[in-house]
Amino acid sequence: MTAPERPDRRRLLQWLSVSTTTLYLPRSAWCQPRFDSTPFTLGVASGAPTPDSVLLWTRLNVPGESAASLGRDPVTVQWEVAHDDQFKGLAQRGQALAPVELAHSVHVEVTGLEPDRWYYYRFMVGDFVSPVGRTRTFPKPDTVVNSLRLGYASCQKWEDGYFTAWRHMQQENLDAVMFLGDYIYEYPAKNSKLRTPSGGWVLTLDDYRQRYALYKSDADLQAMHAACPWLMTWDDHEVQNDYAGLQAGRSGANDPADPSQFLARRAAAYQAYYEHMPIRPSVLTQAMTGLATGAEMRLYGQMRYGQLATLYLLDARQYRDPQACTKDGALGSGMVNPDKCAQWQDAGHSLLGQAQEEWLHRQFSIPPAPSRSWTVLGQSTLFGQRDGKVGPGQTFWNDGWDGYPAARRRLTDALQKHAVPNPVVLGGDVHENWVGHVKADYANANSTSVGVEFCGTSLTSHSSGGAKTANILAKNPHFIFADALRRGYGIAQFTPTQLITTLRVVDDVTRHDTAIETLARFVVPSGRSVVERV
């Protein structure tokens, strides 16, 4: 595998600094290549909202033989933020550079905005104007807020179905979308009757860029990105199936055994993720050059939505210890009998990594918001214990929280110790809907419920479950609902008195014109960690 070409640290920091400016560049600094067609083929997006700022994203991309028109120099891109979609009431405007080293992507941090209000934005280069995006700032932390409508989704495999669910989500009147991982899949082309990704295994920086460009060419995904801000975290397929921290996962590709070459692949994947996501440049703690030596890309963080909710985004992939007791010592995941795995209860085994765990527990220790506020933990997988063996005995999947029971117990202990108000865990990864109670001790059926959980189905990705779902649900009574058959997304509406979560599913993911319906709806009253179907 060839290591990706990387700009030196000083040059990259200069690009990142210029990309966030709200000032106009001198005409001498402009680089305006001539385009025969729009370079905004991948759409626009926004994310990372605060009470006075938001991150705006686009990437210039000209497919086919015209790609050379972008050149090797940074391209000057103009941007505008307005109070109306006709851009008659401009709020701010500026220019940014789209450097070739970052695939001509643009990340603009717009500051000085008013809290708790909607804005419109667009980009311009040459004679072309991007699609118009709609975004918003969050309320100030001390503001009384009556409602938050949050969509959550994960796992959108190109060849498994159409992204029509995003089209339906545009009608949900959301304040934000929380994406919980597996934005792309790294697998090679297969004989799909629907649509097949181009290329083979995704291994190099150029491979990852092409795969993101393919996914982002989808009109429904573009439109949902343009509808409201997105809050981003990842899982494994943004790099490689089942990878854990700095260790490779299980893959069918002819991957090199040399760990340093997996590190080069991970660095390429992380760079491509940054280039295509509405995330702030500050996530690059040591710029792109640091990624090649294992430096983190810090996605985890916390956001307040007035007095109503505290939103945490967690990273359950980048810092984790390798999975315990996978069969025959293989890399990646597997089903494990904990009685035959000495490492299962290792007190130091961590899914989030020590630094992220300590950060999260410190956040919990800060004097809480009003007791009627909600604490939302957005992360990439199923949280509650799920015994997958039908009949006597137990088996657990070692790639999720079940494979890290001591780490899960530390988290639930911290929720109790700090009396964290109204914990709600959102997850994805398993391609099934699971709804239930977060327990202090899963070995005790009468244990205290310290929160509730909504683990969402996939947007398109197939599930291997279905036949055994009812039996597995019966064996895990802390869950009250499960469905492995339907694809879609979830809507969580928070108010000061209750949370209502609606599971929305499409009729047939293989049809581009598929309809949407409600699979189930649940209510959680404020002040009680109890979820009921309504």
Confidence tier at 467 by pLDDT (50, 70, 90): confident
d(CA 168, CA 176): 15
What's the whole-number mean pLDDT along residues 432-460? 96
Question: pLDDT tens across 270-323, in order?
Answer: 999 999 999 999 999 998 889 988 999 999 999 999 999 999 999 999 999 999
Q: Contact at 8 Å (CB) between 487 and 456?
A: no
> Considering only CA atoms, which of 20, 16, 28 is closest in space to residue 92?
20
Q: Which helix (H) or strand (E) holds 376?
A: strand 374-378
Q: Contact at 8 Å (CB) between 492 and 426?
A: yes
Q: Which helix (H) or strand (E) holds 56?
A: strand 54-59
Domains in the chain: boundaries: 140-183+299-534
d(CA 51, CA 114): 7
> Considering only CA atoms, which of 273, 266, 317 is closest in space to residue 291?
266
Return the bridge partners of 397, or none.
335
What's the whole-number mean pLDDT along residues 434-446? 94
Give percent above pLDDT 70 in the chain.
92
> Considering only CA atoms, which of 141, 119, 125, 140 is closest in space to residue 56?
119
d(CA 220, CA 164): 6
Question: pLDDT tens across 410-422, in order?
Answer: 999 999 999 999 9
Q: Does domain 140-183+299-534 have CATH number 3.60.21.70?
A: yes
Q: Contact at 8 Å (CB) between 372 and 361?
A: no
Confidence tier at 355 by pLDDT (50, 70, 90): very high
Q: What is the pLDDT of residue 341?
A: 95
**112 backbone φψ class: left, alpha, beta (φ>0; ψ -120 to 50):** left
Give percent above pLDDT 90 in the chain.
81
Confidence tier at 73 by pLDDT (50, 70, 90): confident
**114 backbone φψ class: left, alpha, beta (φ>0; ψ -120 to 50):** beta
Confidence tier at 486 by pLDDT (50, 70, 90): very high
Confidence tier at 465 by pLDDT (50, 70, 90): confident
Helices (H), 9-107: 9-19
